[in-house]
Each structure stands twice: as structure tokens, then as C-alpha cells.
Amino acid sequence: MTSPVPRPARRRLDAALDGLAVTFRGMTARPDEHNCECHWGSAEDVARLKVPDVELYDDLLQRTWRAPDWSDHASVLRRILPQFARSLVAGRIEAFLGPEEIGRSFDRGQWQQWPDEQAAAVREFLHAWWSHTLTDPAPAVPAHELLALNVEASGTLTPWLTHWETQTGAPATRHLAEAAAHWEYDLLVDELPWGAWDAWDDEGEKRAELTTWLLDHARPRLIAHGAPGELLHRIRLLGLTGPARWEDPHWPGHRY
């Protein structure tokens, strides 16, 4: 039997979801907003986005957050945010191109430039969801997927990793082992383990930051918690370069 999520983390997330509902109540897409009927949906569907506080059916919600070509993506995102956030937390949103695709929808809306109250509500939601996930033994969205989402939504890796360091309970450490196992294949060829939206140089900086964090924080922590030796060696190999890495006796023999 798994342990429940600590009550403060659940309360914080519930409060953040309530905060989105209050902050974005009454929001609509622009009156002149439109999209392609052939590829996106009908005029009736667009009209629903111009009516406040009405729940969208699942497929319409999915098409709306994924569409990259709204004339005012920020207004559309504000219209769907309360429902979108609840569906995200419940694991009901499907990201065909990976969780980073969801983060890019936030980024396209430029939420960090919204009025202070609105930006604060989004920021608190992302951080509350992250904190909840790290303390949840079985989150609907795995921690490594949520990290990619949050990084692409916020444009930074540092605060999410810093918070992970503070979460020392068994769920957070187990999520760390699962994340490292998921990431090592890409990191061992010096690639970020999700598709970054920003420039190549920024992608390289994030990859380097994640690699350093795995070596300096994650590996010692996983050693202390008895992680499998194979995983520990693969993290160790990230600290080597060139032939020293792939000629090491513990090189996993990945084919790329």
C-alpha cells in the first residue's frame, strides 16, 4: 500500500487550482479570434471559446491548447486555463510530441508577461503541482515529464532542480532514480532528453546544467539509497568525455 501525498502538498495544489479558477473567471478568446475549419475545428467550436466559464468537451480542449496559430494565444490560454490545469493534474491531457509540447503552449501565451496577479496564479500552480508530484508515490504525470513541461513553460531549469533537492522523502528519491534512468540514453550522447524550444546554445546550457546536477546531487543521493549499480555507472559516465566515456567497461552499448 502506497503512502498518501502529504496534506500540505495536496492543499497547496488545490488552492492553486482554485486560484486559477478565480483569477481567470470570465476570460474569453478575442471576439475576432478564428482558426482553420479544415484543420482545427468548426466555427461553433471557436464560438465556445468566446463564451466565459463554460466547460469544453475533451477533444476541443485538446485541440485548443495544441494549436500554434491563434492570433492571440494568450487570450485563448487564459480562457481555458482553469479547466486545462485540472485536466493536466489528473493526467487527462495527451501530448503527442512529449510533455514539453504542453510547456510550449504556456510559453506561447507569454504568461510571465501577464498582469502580476495572473502571472502569479500560473506560477503558483506550476510550483504547487511540482511540489505535489515530488511527494506523490504515484503521480498522474511522472516527475521527469513534468520537469520537461515546467522547464519549457518557464524557460529555466534551476528552480525545479533546486526544489527537488529539498524533497528528501522516499517518493522524491524514487522519482529521481526513474528520471535518471529515463534521461541517461540521451545525455550520454550530450543531448537534452526532451525537445527544447529555444536556441541550440540554450539547449546546450540546460543539458549541461542537468548533467552537472545528476553528477553532483543525484548520484550521491542515489548511492546513499542503494540505487542499482548499473544506473550509478551510467550517471558516472556523464562526467567523462570522448573515448573515455564509450571505452569505459561500463559503457552500456547503446545504439543511436
The reported pLDDT for the residue numbered 250 is 96
Q: Is the pLDDT of residue 5 over 90?
A: no
Digit-coded pLDDT (tens) for 123-158: 999 999 999 999 999 999 999 999 999 999 999 999
H/E element holding 204?
helix 200-213
H/E element holding 168?
none
Confidence of residue 106 (pLDDT cuts 50, 70, 90): very high
The reported pLDDT for the residue numbered 200 is 52
Confidence of residue 256 (pLDDT cuts 50, 70, 90): confident
Digit-coded pLDDT (tens) for 150-163: 999 999 999 999 99
The reported pLDDT for the residue numbered 202 is 79
The reported pLDDT for the residue numbered 3 is 57
Which whole-number Å values give the CA distances from 234 to 32, 70, 182, 251, in the listed order?
53, 43, 11, 7
Residues 6+ apart with CB under 8 A from 16: 121, 124, 125, 127, 128, 129
Task: Check: CB of residue 189 under 8 Å from CB of residue 158.
Answer: no
Please name the residue that has the C-alpha cell 546513499.
224
Q: Is the pLDDT of residue 68 over 90?
A: yes
Averaged confidence pLDDT in the chain: 95
Count of CB atoms within 10 A of residue 118's CB?
Answer: 19
Residues 6+ apart with CB under 8 A from 38: none
The reported pLDDT for the residue numbered 197 is 64
Q: Is the pLDDT of residue 253 over 90?
A: no
SS3 per residue for 109-139: CCHHHCCHHHHHHHHHHHHHHHHHHHHCCCC
For range 103-108, the mean pLDDT? 97
State the distance between the two ends of the chain, measured CA to CA, in whole angstroms. Answer: 39
The reported pLDDT for the residue numbered 17 is 98
State the DSSP code for 5: P
Digit-coded pLDDT (tens) for 195-217: 876 555 578 999 999 999 999 99
CA 169 to chain centre: 21
| Residue that wins the pLDDT comparison between 230 and 38 | 230
The reported pLDDT for the residue numbered 1 is 44
Amino acid at 47: A
